[in-house]
Structure 1
Amino acid sequence: MALETNRHLAHFQADIWEKHFVSSPLLHLETEQASKHQKLKEQVRELLLAGLDKPWEQLDLIDSIQRLGIAYHFKDEIENLLLGIHKNLDTCLEENDNLHGISLLFRLLRQYGLTISCDVFNKFKNESEMLKESLSEDVIGLLSLHEAACVRLHGENILEQALDFTTKHLKSIKEDTSSSPKLAAQASQALKYPVQKNIPRLDAKYYISVYPLHNNPVVLTFAKLDFNMLQKLHQNELREIARWWKDLDIPRRLPYARDRITELFFGAIAVYYEPCYALGRKIWTKVIALGSLLDDMYDAYGTIEELELLTQAIQRWDRNAMDGLNNECSKVLYQILLDVYDEIGEDMAKLGKSYRLDYAVEMMKRQATAYLAEARWFSQNYTPTLEEYLKLGIHTSSCPVLIVSSLLGMGDNISRDAFEWVLSTPKIVIASSQIGRLVDDIMSHEFEKKRGHADTAVECYMKKYGATKQEAVKELYMRIESAWKDINEEFLQPTEVPMAVLMRVLNFTRCNHVVYADTDAYTFPDYLKDFVAALFVHQLPLD
């Protein structure tokens, strides 16, 4: 009688959404709503155009439109206003000379990649070159300064000081029972999910809830209507994806794996939510679903011999290679992998962009190779140096394969150069990979250790430096903050690739920030449930 193979199974939690989206009805847009939407859209456009002569008076309007999630309708108008502000920077600084105004001006220009010096904050220092303590009384200014500090670059010491200063005082506001509940909630939101690190759709849902009606009822009404209309589109897409996943019958055919298609589509919405990226979301969700199945195969099921054979088959990328696989789960996974990429190839052919498939396949091959290298470390009981681990982590983080995948459905404005750029592993991709790898490790290393898993960055650091877990985590968070500065730097114009490409990297990084804020919410999806419901279940009231 053959001995049963010893597998490090994780016994993952079942899908918490089950048939919720599979059985949901196909939603249709009402003609009356579409007409109202168009009318309101033109009214908001007129508000933006009215400020072209004095763009510095439009800072709050620009910020509101961006945070409410409707800026994609007004890209040209917002770009012209920001360029006008940048051209007349001295006037803008004079007209917006309070803490909120300068902080907002700084953040808006920095996020768009326009040059602005952090010296604009020097006026808020005292004789000791420290931020004036009296600034703590300006709560709106504190919130804006905190958001500005989150787009800082390396060496911007005044913004390092600003981050410490605002974090200290916002924590005090959050914890002070005498603070107004509204201000305490805003302080909590800024500390945990600052604009630069938050998923745009989640920030829009939040900002709609706190946006004062008296600011601009037209803008708010349009934002609510636009959110609900987009939500219908996303619900229909999720319905289609959920049905595809159900037909694959993953819980039965690959029972070792996490069953998380709803959470994966949530990730796709994080990467891009705009209507024009519907094909991109479909492709991206399927690729990350494959990545998740592969991750669990290498991490939580396969023996090293089985994984060697599976990796060889993926390198061959040939259906005949299935004959060399020695377990049923490997064969099922390999079949699904080739089927999905055949479908992507058909989509690319329809776009006249068949060359893109080659890049997608190459990145998946690199992904499998990286997973195998990590599995070998575990099988050999080898602890890599932190530098070795992070180098491999560029691919085990899934960032490169998912950035390439996000470009597949983006249309004509993405050239072959963008794909070559990702394959060259530029600084922003390394930074995003490091953030994703480290936040995952910090939140999941204890669970992973219990079931048997390769050492994470936490253990690598502890063993190399004789550090405690707390010391290791503190150091890794410092590396995460440094990587965020790298990302901010890569947005400064002129950029190597179009801003639309960089936004995919930034949004993927934001997704990791949210998903791993408190725990590994992908593995333990109850922590994401409210966010998923906010985007795909609960509509906004329009009255």
Structure 2
Amino acid sequence: MSSQISSNLVPSHDVNTSKENRHLAKFRPSFWGDIFLSSTSEMEMDAGTQQEYEELKQEVRRMLVANMDKSSQKLHIIDAVQHLGVAYHFEKEIEEALQIIYHHHCNPIEIDGDDLYTTAVRFRLLREHGFDVHCGTFNKFKDENGNFKESLIGDVKGMLELYEAAHFQLHGENILEEALSFTTFHLKLVETTVDYPLSTQIANALKRPLRKSLPRLIARSYISIYEAYGTQDENLMKFAKLDFKILQHLHKMEINKINRWWKGLDVATNFPFIRDRCVECYFWMLGVYFEPHYAIARTFVAKVTCLVSILDDIYDAYGTYEELEIFTKAIQRWDTDCIDQLPDYMKLWYSETLNVYKDMEDLMSKEGKSYRVQLAIEAMKRQSQVYFVEAKWLHENYIPTMEEYMPIALVSCGYRFITISSFVGMEESITKETFNWAFNDPKIIRASSIICRLMSDIVGHKVEQERGHVSSAVECYMKQYGVSMQKAYDELYKQINNAWKDINEEFLKPTAAPTSALNRILNLARVIDLLYTGEDAYTEVGESAKTSITALLIDTIPI
């Protein structure tokens, strides 16, 4: 990789490019205006509410650790706690409970709950938490011809859970492929015939299964669903609502501060050619981690994501080839002495980027973790290098082969950069070894990057090619193999599907990195699935972005 990047960084003098040869994109303006700039004060719960919140938390904890006659009862409590978005309070208790359930699963004589619903929930939760359970557990739901039994069609809740479980499949698990096909077909048939709230659960699942959904959005939707069933635990219900309200207020304060920083850059004047997506960048990182103890990490990576979005647009939509050569070299040097040689519009980006990283380095040095920021800087340097490779391809009207394209494109999509950046402000479980692992192209980061790159290319390539843009995976594949656009789509979707299986495999214990690190990578893949299914909701300010941001950062939940 490094040799390929280095060779492409050699200046080209054989092609003269006018300083005015800019591929202007005319991006849509920000949708949000100043809505997130209004002052948000610290949320102070009164003493009574604070005490109630802590008491409710302890009640939920007692439920999770209580001995129960049937392990299936504990399964359903864990499932509800996760759906309602409060599992982060009880990670130890959930892990210990699932360890016991896994022991029972491995000893069939001790297992209870042999129905489809319970079997599927148990399989999904155990797989989700890294337990290597065998998909053969679903063979009992097949008939003598090897097909899923027709009697299952009447068990709608069971089919819904089998559908969700099937999205945790690994490579070669054909029974889960069959289960997905079977349940998708029949759930679509009953979606409009069953009553609320089951109808909403089915609609949500068919649109986006749990494995591909952001935990905050699951919680936002499930709070009303859980309440509507009428069989909910009142303590858990109230705790979930209070917790959502507290976190939403924290997130509103964060986005307010980041918006003020963004406004201070005077983007409209200094970078009129970019996608003004500060709110979307914050939402993206909120998808990566929402928990309050990640506030510092989230704020830092939200800022650098805003900055790398500007950087992407400088390389893609404004900078001339000559300017980009100088710019790339300056970023490699990472030195304020380089600023004077840059065009004015690049100077502000350069100085502000160095400031953001310096501020984080000062903070991390107090904990003896300044090395983390240095590694994040290396990731930013690498990002600019691959952006320049793509600029060179465009400059020379070169369509690379897939073998040339993918190693560069999997870096330029930004997910390795964001993953490494997301680790900077995290807890002690993230070590130097974790950073070294992330830099060495592990399977799960590669899989997340494949999902990011290919989904983005599929929905965005037509518009990009109209304005002048480096070839996407779609054009590269079509040219190399002489196939139609639809054939290229089909192949790329296969690669996306396989990448999700790779992610599932990487969560099985023992894991190559801490689960806290793996969850960041999984959540990045989930954000892409949300924003790039059927549209480029980031670039085009699409509905999936607007509705999701509104749900998490504007609309409130009545207590």
Q: Give 1:220 shift.
A: 1.2
Q: Give 1:58 shift.
A: 0.9
Q: Give 1:526 shift.
A: 4.1
How many residues were matched structurally? 538
Between the aligned partners of 2:69 and 2:156, the Cα distance in structure 1 is 30
Between the aligned partners of 1:59 and 1:109, the Cα distance in structure 2 is 10
CA offset digits 1:139-172 (Å, max 9, x no partner): 1011101110111000001001111111111222
Q: Which residue of 2 aligns with 1:248?
A: 265
Alignment pair present for 1:507 and 2:526: no
Confirm or deny: 8 A CA contact 1:213 1:220 kept in the other structure: no
Structural mapping, 1:460-539, within 5 Å: 460-527=476-543, 528-539=545-556
Tell me which of 37, 40, 50 is aligned to 1:34: 50
Confirm or deny: 8 A CA contact 1:429 1:505 kept in the other structure: yes
Between the aligned partners of 1:522 and 1:107, the Cα distance in structure 2 is 31
Amino acid at match of 2:501: K
Q: Which residue of 2 aligns with 1:118?
A: 135
Confirm or deny: 8 A CA contact 2:18 2:320 kept in the other structure: no
Alignment pair present for 1:43 and 2:59: yes
Between the aligned partners of 2:298 and 2:431, the Cα distance in structure 1 is 19
Tell me which of 143, 168, 173 is aligned to 1:156: 173
Amino acid at match of 2:25: A
Q: Which residue of 2 aligns with 1:140?
A: 157
Tell me which of 380, 396, 415 is aligned to 1:380: 396
Alignment pair present for 1:411 and 2:427: yes
Q: Measured at CA, do residues 215 and 25 of structure 1 come closer, stay the same or move farther in structure 2, by a change above 3 Å?
A: closer
Amino acid at match of 1:245: W
Tell me which of 238, 244, 248 is aligned to 2:255: 238
Q: Give 1:458 shift.
A: 1.1
Alignment pair present for 1:205 and 2:220: yes
Confirm or deny: 8 A CA contact 1:173 1:183 kept in the other structure: no
Structural mapping, 1:24-423, within 5 Å: 24-31=39-46, 32-51=48-67, 54-89=70-105, 90-91=107-108, 94-174=111-191, 176=192, 178-180=193-195, 182-211=197-226, 212-325=229-342, 327-423=343-439
Amino acid at match of 1:193: R
Q: Which residue of 1 aligns with 2:443?
A: 427
Q: Measured at CA, do residues 6 and 187 of structure 1 come closer, stay the same or move farther in structure 2, by a change above 3 Å?
A: same
Between the aligned partners of 1:418 and 1:390, the Cα distance in structure 2 is 24
Q: Give 1:3 shift.
A: 7.4
Between the aligned partners of 1:500 and 1:281, the Cα distance in structure 2 is 14
Confirm or deny: 8 A CA contact 1:52 1:81 kept in the other structure: no
Confirm or deny: 8 A CA contact 1:7 1:301 kept in the other structure: yes
CA offset digits 1:434-473 (Å, max 9, x no partner): 0000111111111111111111111111112222222211
Q: Which residue of 2 aligns with 1:13?
A: 28
Confirm or deny: 8 A CA contact 2:70 2:112 kept in the other structure: no
Confirm or deny: 8 A CA contact 1:55 1:82 kept in the other structure: no
- Unaligned ranges ≥5, structure 2: 1-16
Confirm or deny: 8 A CA contact 1:154 1:482 kept in the other structure: yes
- Greater shift, 348-357 or 370-379, is seen at 348-357
- Report the TM-score when normalising by structure 2: 0.93
SS at match of 1:475: helix
Q: Give 1:191 shift.
A: 1.6
Confirm or deny: 8 A CA contact 1:147 1:195 kept in the other structure: yes
Give the percent of matched residue pairs that are identical in Structure 1 and Structure 2: 45
CA offset digits 1:474-506 (Å, max 9, x no partner): 211111010000000000100111110111101
SS at match of 2:366: helix
Confirm or deny: 8 A CA contact 2:212 2:529 kept in the other structure: yes
Q: Give 1:68 shift.
A: 0.7
CA offset digits 1:379-429 (Å, max 9, x no partner): 111111123222112211111111111111112221111100101110001
CA offset digits 1:324-358 (Å, max 9, x no partner): 22x22122221122111111211211222011111
CA offset digits 1:95-154 (Å, max 9, x no partner): 121111111100100011111000000001111212123222211011101110111000
CA offset digits 1:230-249 (Å, max 9, x no partner): 11111111111111111111
Between the aligned partners of 1:54 and 1:353, the Cα distance in structure 2 is 46
Between the aligned partners of 2:534 and 2:221, the Cα distance in structure 1 is 18
Q: Give 1:181 shift.
A: 5.1
Q: Give 1:17 shift.
A: 1.2
Between the aligned partners of 1:366 and 1:56, the Cα distance in structure 2 is 49
- Report the TM-score when normalising by structure 1: 0.96
Confirm or deny: 8 A CA contact 2:120 2:161 kept in the other structure: yes
- Greater shift, 51-60 or 280-289, is seen at 51-60
- The alignment's C-alpha RMSD in Å is 1.6
CA offset digits 1:22-76 (Å, max 9, x no partner): 1233242222332221111111111112136753431111011011100011111
Confirm or deny: 8 A CA contact 1:394 1:430 kept in the other structure: yes
Between the aligned partners of 1:128 and 1:29, the Cα distance in structure 2 is 62
SS at match of 2:169: coil
Q: Measured at CA, do residues 256 and 143 of structure 1 come closer, stay the same or move farther in structure 2, by a change above 3 Å?
A: same
Confirm or deny: 8 A CA contact 2:535 2:542 kept in the other structure: no
Q: Which residue of 2 aligns with 1:541?
A: 558
Between the aligned partners of 1:520 and 1:499, the Cα distance in structure 2 is 30
Between the aligned partners of 1:204 and 1:159, the Cα distance in structure 2 is 26
SS at match of 1:351: coil
Confirm or deny: 8 A CA contact 2:423 2:517 kept in the other structure: yes
Amino acid at match of 2:35: H
Q: Measured at CA, do residues 450 and 92 of structure 1 come closer, stay the same or move farther in structure 2, by a change above 3 Å?
A: farther
Q: Which residue of 1 aligns with 2:460?
A: 444
Tell me which of 20, 38, 60 is aligned to 1:23: 38
Confirm or deny: 8 A CA contact 2:536 2:542 kept in the other structure: no
- Unaligned ranges ≥5, structure 1: none
Between the aligned partners of 2:246 and 2:263, the Cα distance in structure 1 is 26
Amino acid at match of 1:271: V
Amino acid at match of 1:227: F
Between the aligned partners of 2:384 and 2:337, the Cα distance in structure 1 is 18
Confirm or deny: 8 A CA contact 1:52 1:84 kept in the other structure: no
Confirm or deny: 8 A CA contact 2:274 2:310 kept in the other structure: yes
